Amino acid sequence: MTKENNDFRFVLNDTLKIFFKDFIKVSIRHPSQAIFFFKTYRWQKKAAKTREKWQQQGIPVPPIMLFSITHKCNLNCKGCYEKTIRPAAKKELTDEELGDIVKQANELGISFAVIAGGEPFMRKNFFEITKNYKDMIFLIFTNGLLLNQDMINIIKKQKNIVPLISLEGCEEETDGVRGKGIYNRLENTMNKLKKQTLFFGTSLTLTSKNYDTITSQDFIQRLINTGCKFFLFVEYNPIYPNTEHLMVTTSQREKIMDIVRSFREKWPALFIEVPGDEDEIGGCLGAGKGFIHISAEGDVEPCPFAPYSDMNLKKVSLKDALNSDFLRKIRENHAQLHSSDGSCGLWAKRDMVQNFLKEK
């Protein structure tokens, strides 16, 4: 491990400490939430020490695991990247295999699991696993339609589950992508979560078309009023063919971080922008630099947008997979894989990424 990469891990750990301190700050009006996030902050510090011990043994353990636990979804959204990148799904991991992977991640000191799909709540049994790992945060990317009262009751018991409900803007933008009436249903769901004083957020895909809506104070205030405490802005990545025009423009990108900072000053909520916040701590976090991605079949990949792997967790341990030559080559060539236009470099330069895989 080079000094540069070592320094980066210290920066990322410090950034996560700030992130969890902010968690405590924005939940301070709800004592039970604040107490939980304070405990989580202590667990995060302990996990960082665990990762450092593995690092000294030559195992580069990232703090974050992106885990796509299913391809199944109850919606058919326009431009779904999952269906574009992975049109032919193989056999998914069993519940037992999912549980074993989370157990291995926990033992290695991975303390932050970002759960995606498909639609994660279609695998309800997964939340029998999460209840056993109170020292891990499970951030769930969801379309929100399966957040019924039964699921809300589970989240109320498991404060380490944080739903991130996906929106494309207001009613016109969201319904245009996800289907008629979806936005109003999601707004009702968010109000239910607020009444239960549950911590939740929203994932907002920024495009050149919805930029003005999503970055407007009126839109953010409307979501704040529904109880939303966590805003993740993700710039559109042109995975779907002939959609490059939907990428945010250069002038829009130049303004976004200042806009996000103004939101942080105005509202008691968490605001994160990707790739902007990544750039401020060293660029792309993929390939184990800050996170790894595990597919629904158990393939260990550099990123959800780079569906290439030389290790499968049905055959090897997570510890061994983190030492993959393929992931190491991507980390070593990080600068060459940088994309200056805001798109995912691992996807934009996927020919280079695939060549690293062939060189094994």
Phi, psi of 133 (to 5 degrees): -130, 70
Is residue 131 predicted with pLDDT exceeding 60?
Answer: yes
Which residue, among 155, 232, 137, has the nearest Cα to 198 in the 3D structure? Answer: 155
Q: Which pLDDT belongs to residue 66?
A: 95
The predicted structure's pLDDT at residue 16 = 57
- For helices 3-26 and 31-56, what crossing angle results, to 10°? 170
Q: Quote the Cα angle for 127-305-109, to 5°.
A: 45
What is the pLDDT, as a whole number, of residue 38? 75
Tokens representing residue 207 in the block: 């495009």
Least confident of 30-39, 199-208, 213-222: 30-39
- State the pLDDT confidence band at 11, using cuts at 50, 70 and 90: very low
Q: What is the pLDDT of residue 352?
A: 79
pLDDT at 136 over 80: yes
pLDDT band at 277 (very low <50, low <70, confident <90, very high): low
0.75 cut: is pTM over it? Answer: yes
Contacts of 144 (CB under 8 A, 6+ apart): 163, 165, 166, 185, 186, 189, 190
Q: What is the pLDDT of residues 236-274, one digit of tens each?
A: 887 777 888 888 898 998 899 999 999 989 988 888 888
pLDDT band at 4 (very low <50, low <70, confident <90, very high): very low
- C-alpha neighbours within 13 Å on the C-beta side of residue 115: 29
